[in-house]
């Protein structure tokens, strides 16, 4: 059995962030991932400008910019017949831009960084056992006869919205598989009018996010009500019946070509889970799934991973991995993320009600305050240092 200070389950942004920061502090870390990278993942493929502070601490700025991407310098929203475009704040200085970048490239970069920092990465690990062993955790994968096993003092579950770790710890609520909306993602070639923008377009019964990825490619994510998706499951039918009812979105999409497979996920939103306990933490979507209307999902994942690493380091220094000790992680997350989560919750409450958002968009189209303040709030950097 291989023994580590920390086992991190899930090699997305939250898992790689926590593993990397812990390895840099000298802890032995195993990073267990069920997939093989690079792999595609349903995502808006937009990296909010707020991420630059954490990118700098991870040391990946140059690596990111070397990947195929599109620099995004403004936010555009349309509701019915009105639209407005808001540039990202110049107060962010040289970081007043985001990136349109495929998650497969981004996640692979993070995984290679973790390996470089000394993290023991295990890909293709479909865990089938999680249990307490003495004062730590035992994790197994593979068949019972020839399977592999690791032991760790501390466990970090960062394995996404349908977290295997959360289920096995009894933290997944029974109603998590229900919801009103389904999300879809497509990669497209030949979209019109999206250069340098991340766009949100509202249509009756849902909304869509659109961003360029460089190389003539774009990412489209959209949500529709579950009953509408059942009535018209084909993507082209959903375009015609729902998305094209927003004329701005129709203009951007109608000459585009789908590249690769469509992906979908249901439900779109989960309520928060308890994110700590005796000997464990949950990070990223394993702890809280945030509907990606503000493009902050990656930020929440990276930041929660960084905070999980800080809480783990403090627990090791104190020689105490109890729930009481690790509750500092929950407090740190609330302090660092609660204002952004409240804004995200507010936008989530109005995004499906275009009659509430349309007046703000209309005002902003006349260069009046509301949307610019909201965009700046969402995209502002967080200068808090953690480790």
Q: Using one digit for the tens of pLDDT, what is the confidence trace for 192-233?
A: 999 899 999 999 888 999 999 999 999 999 999 888 888 777
According to CATH, where is 3.30.9.100 located in the chain? 46-101+177-269+352-387
- Count how many residues are written for the chain: 387
Helices 323-351, 354-365: inter-axial angle, 10-degree rounding: 80
Poorest-confidence range of 23-37, 205-219, 287-301? Answer: 287-301
Chain-centroid distance of CA 39 in Å reads 15
Going by pLDDT thresholds of 50, 70 and 90, the confidence category of residue 13 is: very high
Supply the pLDDT for residue 137: 97
pTM of the model: 0.92
According to CATH, where is 3.50.50.60 located in the chain? 1-41+102-176+270-350
Mean pLDDT value across the chain: 89
Poorest-confidence range of 73-82, 86-95, 252-261, 329-338? Answer: 86-95
Sheet holding 206-214, edge to edge: 82-87, 74-79, 197-203, 206-214, 217-225, 181-189, 257-265
Supply the pLDDT for residue 327: 97
CA distance linking residue 358 with residue 50, whole number of Å: 26
Share of the chain above pLDDT 70, in %: 94
Residue 95 has pLDDT above 80, yes or no: no
Residue 169 has pLDDT above 80, yes or no: yes
CATH of 1-41+102-176+270-350, one of 3.40.190.290, 3.50.50.60, 3.90.1150.10, 3.40.1390.20: 3.50.50.60
Reading the block at residue 316, the tokens are 């090791």
Tokens 């340098």, located at residue: 196
Q: Using one digit for the tens of pLDDT, what is the confidence trace for 102-122?
A: 999 999 999 999 999 999 999
């Amino acid at each position: 059995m291989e023994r580590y200070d920390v086992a991190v389950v899930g090699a997305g942004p939250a898992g790689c962030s926590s593993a990397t920061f812990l390895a840099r502090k000298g802890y032995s870390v195993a990073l267990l991932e069920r997939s093989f990278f690079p792999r595609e993942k349903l995502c808006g493929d937009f990296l909010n400008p707020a991420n630059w502070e954490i990118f700098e601490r991870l040391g990946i700025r140059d690596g990111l910019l070397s990947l195929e991407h599109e620099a995004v310098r403004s936010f555009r929203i349309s509701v019915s017949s009105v639209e407005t475009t808001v540039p990202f704040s110049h107060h962010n200085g040289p970081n007043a831009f985001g990136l349109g970048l495929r998650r497969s490239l981004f996640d692979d970069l993070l995984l290679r960084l973790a390996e470089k920092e000394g993290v023991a990465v295990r890909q293709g690990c479909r865990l089938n056992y999680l249990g307490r062993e003495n004062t730590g955790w035992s994790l197994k994968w593979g068949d019972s006869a020839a399977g592999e096993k690791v032991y760790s003092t501390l466990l970090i579950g960062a394995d996404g919205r349908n977290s295997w770790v959360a289920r096995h710890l009894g933290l997944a609520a029974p109603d998590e598989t229900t919801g009103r909306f389904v999300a879809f993602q497509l990669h497209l070639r030949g979209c019109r009018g999206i250069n340098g923008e991340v766009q949100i377009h509202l249509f009756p019964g849902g909304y869509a996010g659109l961003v360029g990825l460089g190389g003539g490619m774009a990412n489209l994510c959209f949500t529709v009500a579950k009953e509408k998706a059942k009535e018209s499951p084909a993507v082209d039918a959903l375009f015609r019946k729902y998305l094209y009812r927003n004329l701005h979105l129709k203009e951007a999409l109608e000459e585009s070509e789908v590249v690769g497979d469509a992906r979908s996920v249901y439900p779109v939103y989960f309520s928060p889970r308890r994110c700590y306990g005796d000997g464990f933490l949950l990070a990223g979507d394993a702890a809280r799934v945030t509907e990606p209307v503000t493009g902050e999902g990656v930020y929440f994942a990276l930041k929660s991973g960084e905070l999980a690493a800080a809480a783990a380091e403090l627990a090791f220094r104190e020689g105490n991995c109890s729930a009481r000790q690790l509750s500092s992680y929950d407090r740190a997350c609330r302090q660092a993320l609660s204002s952004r989560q409240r804004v995200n919750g507010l936008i989530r409450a109005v995004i499906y009600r275009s009659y509430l958002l349309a007046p703000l968009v209309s005002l902003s189209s006349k260069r009046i305050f509301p949307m610019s303040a909201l965009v700046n709030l969402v995209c502002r950097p967080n200068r808090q240092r953690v480790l």
